[in-house]
Structure 1
C-alpha cells in the first residue's frame, strides 16, 4: 500500500492543500492571483477549447517552473503560446532536455492521451512527458506520473482518427521526484527514439493551406499530418494561422522573386519614379547594373511618412542579394529613435 503525505508548497505564502497524495507524486496549490490572471489572458481566444488550453498550460508551466527554479535555476519555458489554439501541451527546457507538460482538467487518470505533434514533429518532440491534473475549483495542480519519448512510442496505442497516442496509466512512472533526480545525476540519459523528418512546405502551398485552415473547426485534422506538422512547426506560418483564426487580416506577402518578372504588388513604385534625382542617393551603395531591381513603398507611421526601399540582384547560383533601407520622406528629418526594422528569413522550397 502506497504511503501518503500532505505535501505543502515550498513557498510560505501559499495555502497548504487539503488533499492527500502518494508520496511519490507532486501536488501544488495554484495561487488565486495566478489563476485569475490566466483566465483574463485566456479570454482573448475565440473558442472554449483554446481558452481552456491556454489556462491549463499557462498554469502548468508557470507553477512548475517556479517550483523547480530553486533546484534548477537554468530551467526555461518554451514561449510558443500560440500553439494552444490548436493543441494542448507545453514545454519546460532543462539543459538539453525538453519536458513536455500534458495538463488536463479530467478527473479520470486511468489513461494518458498525447497529441501526435509532441512525438512526431522533430522540433517539438519531448524527451520526458509529465501527466498533470489541474482542478480549477480546488485550485490544485497534481503531477501523477511521467515517461520518456521511447516509452511512449513503444507502449502507446496510436489513434489515427484524432491523431493521438493513448497509454494506460499503469505504464507511467509514478515517482515524479525520480525525474528531477535523473536531471541531476544522469542528464545525458537517452530518451528519444528516431523521429522522421518532415518535408518542407512551399510558400504558395503554405499560403493556400493557411486560408483553408482559417475557418475549419479542427485544423489539425483537416490535412495529412505530414503537411500539418510541417506547417505548424514553422513559427511564422503558425503565427499567421493563429491570427487568421482570431479573425485578423492576413498580412500581404510580397515575393521578391516575382519582381524579376516585373510583377509588383500594389504600392511598390520604381525608385527613380518616386524619388527622381534623389534615387541614387537613396541606394547609393548599390550599382546601377540592369540586373538590379529597385522599388520603394511609402509607409504611414503615426504623423509621418517613411519610405521602405528594397533592391534585389541575382547573384551566383541563382541566389538573390537583397538590400533594405528605411528612410524619411524628408531628407532633413530623422527616423524615430525607437523604430526597429527587423528582417526575418524563412526556409522555403
Structure 2
C-alpha cells in the first residue's frame, strides 16, 4: 500500500516531513549543475545533499529561536569539495554540531554514517540526522537522530565501506529532545584519539597524485584511512584534492578527438583492461546500490558470460542527475568471434527504468541494426544477442528525449581462449 504525503505525516507525526516541489528540485539541480564535479556519482551526491540542506533550512525558518543559531560549518563555495568525496553536510545550531546524512533507500533498517564524520575530530558532530529522500513522490523526511555518544556505544563499524552502522530501531525518534538540547550549550565531545599521521609534503603530493585520478566514484577507499583522514581534515589539502580531480577530468575532456571518442577495444576487456570510465561489473557492484546487484545476480542469462564491462551513463537533467548502467557482456566463441549481450539497468534504489529510454545498436556506418525502448515498468531492457568478428566496429547509443550518448566498440586483436 502506498500512502500519500499528508497520510504519512499523520502516521509519523514525530518526524520532520518536507514536500519537494518541482521548482525546488529544479532550483537545486541548476545550482549543482553550475558547480563542478569529476563524475556523475559525485554530482548526484551533491544534488541530494543540496536538496537536503535547502529543505532543512526552509523547515527550520519556522522556528525563529532555532534558526537564529543556524550556520553552515564551511563557506557555501566549499561544499563541492566535501560532496565530491563524502555524503553529508555539517551545520551548527547554537553551539551544537549537526550532520545531515541523506539517503534514497526505501527500506530504513539501518543508519550508515561514513567514518570521516565520526573519527576525524574537526568533522565529528554532536548529533547525526538520517534524511530519507523520495524524489519520485517529491518528499523527504528526517526519521530520527542519534548522538555521537550513542554511535560510540552502539554502532557497529563496517570496514568494507568504512561506515558506522546503527540499527534503525535504535534511533531516537522524538526530535523534540534534540531541539531542546540544541537550545542549550553543547556538551564537549570526548577527546578523539586516533592513529592519524603527520604527512610530509612529499607524502601529500604522492597521495594527491593517486587520489586525483579520474574515477567513477569517490576515492575515499583507495588509501588507508589514517592517510585519507590527514588529507581531508585539512581544508587546504582537501581543496587541492578537489581542484586536481577537476583538472584531471578537464585534461581528459580536452584530449585529442580520437581519444575523446574512446573506441573501446573489447579484446582488452578479457585482460581486465578498461578505459574511459568503463570498469568490470564486479568492481561496479562493490560501489553501487543493491538494486543493480540484485537484478544482475538474479539474471540467469549471464551464467556463461566470460567478462562484463559496465559504465554509468549520465543523461543530466533528463534523469535529475541520476544515471543508468550500461552493461556489455562478452562470451568468446571458437571462431575468433564474440557473442555480445547489451543491457541497461537503473542505478541506486530505483526499481524501474525511466519510460521511453532507447537502447540502439548501430553499424560502423551508423545504420540502425537493433532498437529497443523502455516502457513504464521495465526493470531493464536489452538488445538481442549479436556477434562481432575481428576488426568489426559497432556503436551502442543510449537516448532519452533529446539527450543521447554513444559508445563505440572494436574487437581489435585475436583473443586467447
Query: Is the structural similarity TM-score above 0.5?
Result: yes
Q: Find 1:212's aligned residue among 210, 227, 233.
A: 210
Instruction: Classify the secondary structure of the residue corresponding to 2:92.
Output: strand
Name the counterpart of 1:74: 69
Larger-gyration structure (1/2): 1
Counterpart CA distance in 2 for 1:249 and 1:56 is 22
- The answer on whether the counterparts of 1:88 and 1:102 sit within 8 Å (CA) in structure 2 is yes
Name the counterpart of 1:127: 126
Counterpart CA distance in 2 for 1:249 and 1:103 is 26
Report which structure shows greater RCO (CA 8 Å, sep ≥6). 2
**Per-residue deviation, 1:18:** 5.6
Counterpart CA distance in 1 for 2:25 and 2:249 is 31
- The answer on whether the counterparts of 2:121 and 2:192 sit within 8 Å (CA) in structure 1 is yes
- The answer on whether the counterparts of 1:149 and 1:193 sit within 8 Å (CA) in structure 2 is no
Counterpart CA distance in 2 for 1:212 and 1:136 is 35
**Per-residue deviation, 1:151:** 0.3
**Per-residue deviation, 1:233:** 1.2
RMSD of aligned alpha carbons: 2.3
**Per-residue deviation, 1:214:** 1.0
**Per-residue deviation, 1:126:** 0.7
Q: So what's the TM-score if we normalise by structure 2?
A: 0.53
Name the counterpart of 2:294: none
Aligned 1:246-257 pairs, distance under 5 A: 246-247=246-247
Name the counterpart of 2:8: 19
Counterpart CA distance in 1 for 2:187 and 2:101 is 21
**Per-residue deviation, 1:77:** 1.7
Tell me the matched-pair count. Answer: 235
Name the counterpart of 2:55: 63
- Unaligned residue ranges in structure 2 (runs of 5+): 251-417
Counterpart CA distance in 1 for 2:27 and 2:237 is 28
Name the counterpart of 1:180: 179
Name the counterpart of 1:46: 38
Counterpart CA distance in 2 for 1:92 and 1:129 is 11
| CA displacement 1:230-271 (0-9 Å, x = unmatched) | 101111111111122223599xxxxxxxxxxxxxxxxxxxxx
Instruction: Classify the secondary structure of the residue corresponding to 1:19.
Output: helix
**Per-residue deviation, 1:201:** 1.8
- The answer on whether the counterparts of 1:92 and 1:98 sit within 8 Å (CA) in structure 2 is yes
**Per-residue deviation, 1:86:** 0.8
**Per-residue deviation, 1:226:** 0.8
- The answer on whether the counterparts of 2:29 and 2:47 sit within 8 Å (CA) in structure 1 is yes
Q: So what's the TM-score if we normalise by structure 1?
A: 0.62
Aligned 1:178-327 pairs, distance under 5 A: 178-184=177-183, 186-189=184-187, 192-196=189-193, 198-215=196-213, 217=215, 218-247=218-247
**Per-residue deviation, 1:17:** 4.7
